[in-house]
A and B are shown apart, each in its own frame.
Chain A
Amino acid sequence: MKKLLSISLLLCISVLSWGQVPHNETGWLPEKENHLVYDYCNILSPEQTDTLEERLLIFNDSTSNQIVVMFTPGFGERDISSFAFEVGEKWGIGQGSLSNGVLIVIKPKDSTSGEVEIATGEGLEGVLPDIFCKRIIEDIMIPRFREDDYYGAVTAALDVIEPVCAGEYSFEQYKEDHKGDGSGIIALAVIAGGCALLYRHYKKHPPKNTGGDFSGRSYSGGSSWSGGSWSGGSSSSSGGFGGFGGGHFGGGGASGKW
């Protein structure tokens, strides 16, 4: 009887601690599992987790680049960068010979500020230089984090990171697409002006067929990749994740706070 009681107590404790990780323990290193999305904060919905997992899995299968996304409430008493490099190295994200792994760590904003790190495997430091990671964080992720759109921030960042890793897009092209803040504002002004004109036009001449789609895409550069073959969660997932390949992390990447 006593035994049963203690077992049920243990069960209770383990259920209570479900989803909790000892993130405040010095030197805490999360346990490696056989998947690519780690949400220790329960910030994503189950559907979002599945869609993201499938997207990263397909990307891993087709290009061998391993991208891991992790939401964590803490870093085991280290700074976010040291935490990310240690996880990347110890887990061996990316293929051993290529070190083509990327680890995105996000600490959601609570009473303390939010933090994000994009850590690049040694083999990707060339295509994803620190300054590029910084731009992705500042231009793409943090504006969405500020609106609590965690899923949107990650997918928008992946819309850039994936094609870069696959060699289909580069920092040079990105800079070309996002030329200076000033021109961005001008572009916005032009778009806004255009919208206003259209609005006035439609007000005067209402269209017969209402089905126009004006849902704005804020990122012209990444638009050609967003919503492509990735978005559909319908395709059956192939086989599952085969495990990490032993890639190395040498300290490449960037971090940001909001």
Chain B
Amino acid sequence: MITLGAIAVVVLWAISANNGIVRKAEDATSAWGNVQADYQHRKDLVAQAINIVKGAGNYERGTLEAVIKARNNAPQLNPEDLTEENVARFQKAYDQMAQEMSRAINVTVERYPELTATKNYQEFQQQVEGCENRINVSRKKFNEKVQIYNKSIIVFPNSIIAKLFGHDKMGYFQASEGADQAPATDMLL
């Protein structure tokens, strides 16, 4: 009778501990939704940049191809696949894309300095700034949630439950080189 009671207590505890972990994981994955949306916006802006470069005419073929390639390589990442390596790969791909975009825009501006005076270009710049700001904020919020989750699965006795139910550590964003400055705005603005 006593053993039965003890088992019941342990099972109840395990359920509530697991629920706690699941809830924290959900907080993180829902924050991921915003991250993904903001990075998608960066992707849209790169498409806009490609059009700006093309519109200027006489563009450097190599630079433009590099942007298009980098853009095609920027993946979607489902909330259930947020492992450390997947997030790292995601971040790398999008940073690469932003760098190639900045390079292509800078080359074009060097050739056509008058481009910077156009309304199109100025609005584009403004949009890039806004996009990078939003990425910074959503990344930060996501990181905070992941850290709470990651901490919850490594402390004992939650760690047993995590192992038992297969809750793995999630990846989060590392500060890019050159502190918290986003690569795209860094070179563009």
Contacts and interface: CB of A to CB of B under 8 A. Distances in A.
Q: Please say whether chains A and B are actual partners in one complex.
A: yes
Interface of A: 78-79, 81-82, 85, 89, 130-131, 134, 249-255
A251 B130 contact: yes
B138 to A, nearest CB: 7
A78 B180 contact: yes
B168 to A, nearest CB: 28
Contacts of B134: 250-252
B40 to A, nearest CB: 15
Given A82-B136, A131-B123, A252 B181 contact: no
A33 to B, nearest CB: 24
A85 B133 contact: yes
Contacts of A85: 133, 136-137
B176 interface: no
A253 B133 contact: yes
A250 B34 contact: yes
Interface of B: 34, 38, 123, 126-127, 129-130, 133-138, 180-181
B175 to A, nearest CB: 12
A251 B127 contact: no
A81 B133 contact: yes
Contacts of B133: 81, 85, 251-253
A82 B180 contact: yes
- The DSSP consensus for interface residues of chain B is helix
A252 B138 contact: no
How would you classify the secondary structure of chain A's contact residues: helix, strand, loop or mixed? Answer: mixed
Which one of B126, B127, B133, B181 has the highest number of Cβ atoms from chain A below 10 Å of its Cβ? B133
A251 B126 contact: no
Nearest to B123: A131
Given A79-B181, A131-B123, A254 B138 contact: no
Nearest to A180: B119
Given A249-B137, A251-B137, A130 B180 contact: no
A130 B129 CA distance: 9
Contacts of A79: 180-181
A254 B34 contact: no
Contact of A250 (B123, B126, B129, B138): B138
Nearest to A89: B137
21 contacts: A79-B180, A79-B181, A81-B133, A81-B136, A85-B133, A85-B136, A89-B137, A130-B126, A130-B130, A134-B126, A250-B34, A250-B134, A250-B137, A251-B134, A251-B136, A252-B130, A252-B133, A252-B134, A253-B130, A253-B133, A254-B126
A145 to B, nearest CB: 19
A251 B131 CA distance: 8
Nearest to A78: B180
A81 B137 CA distance: 10
A134 B119 CA distance: 13
A213 to B, nearest CB: 38
Between A78, A81, A253, the greatest number of chain B beta carbons within 10 A of the residue's beta carbon is seen for A81
Given A130-B126, A254-B129, 5 more contacts: A79-B180, A79-B181, A85-B137, A251-B137, A254-B126
Q: Which 6 A-B pairs have the closest CB atoms?
A: A251-B134, A251-B137, A251-B133, A130-B130, A81-B133, A85-B137
